[in-house]
Structure 1
Amino acid sequence: MVVGWALWPTAEPEPRQREYRAETACLLTGTAGVAAPEARPVWTGMQEASLATQVKVQFLEVDGPQTGENAETFLASLVQSRCGVILAVGEAPVQGVGTTAARFPAAKFVAFGAATPGPNVVVEDATDPETVQRKARDLVTALASSKD
């Protein structure tokens, strides 16, 4: 009987669900998603900031043709999801930022790559993965501090 008792599963407390803030930072990527080499450091930085600040982070992949025009639909979807900041990485998502930002002037966009800055568009250099990761982390962290 002792063996059975020793192997009996112990009652572990239920894992607590993580409580998030109301703010959400969103990432739009190409079809390869966050596994793409250009997207990986952005997503990693966003996740690091989320752990530290409890800001929700999410990503969406451009489905279908990898064009700026097609990416505009997905960017608009993220605006409608009430993302506090929308980060774009990859050729098609970055190409779609300018037109979408003009349609939604209250939304905040950050393009990692070749884009045109604007009143609601910040352009970040995407050549150094460590810098990109730090920038993404800082952007999400700033979203949390702007609401405190």
Structure 2
Amino acid sequence: MFSAEGSPIQEFLMDDSEDMQQPVTNDSEDSEPPGYYDKASDEEAGSADAGGEDTPGSDEELNVTEQAEVESSFDGYVRYSERDDGVFLTRKAVAGELSSAQVYADGNPVEGAEIVVNGEDIGQTPSSGSLIFEVPDADQLVLRTTTENLGTVEETYEVY
């Protein structure tokens, strides 16, 4: 298990008296302790130039590419500023909770648009073009409005 002096790896064990030193060596075939590696010097690490010559001390560039797969889901409605013309639900429709309907014509909010939800008139839009209401307990939500610019417009949304 242990060999005599001269082995590549030696450890010295010392007892409390410090007078007694005894070399202990590793008999394994590995000349390097596990986890240790030689570092290349600047002169040893080189790269080939355009002519195929090895150039000592040249910096090498390492490109690492990692691929990942990302999966995402979203449940609801996205609010953005440049809307098409029509009536839109601006919040997810959850039965018994508040939501908002918005009316746009020519990309601008419509003031005074009468909004009907599932056949019930809920009111007119203010200058923001948006009207907050309580979502009825139903499977679907039907928003309808009639304006001079749009005529009658209707959109249907799922109720959660």
Normalising by structure 2, we get a TM-score of: 0.25
Larger relative CO (CA 8 A, sep 6+): 1 or 2? 1
Q: Which has the higher strand share?
A: 2
Bigger helix fraction? 1
Q: TM (normalized to structure 1)?
A: 0.27
Structure showing greater radius of gyration is 2
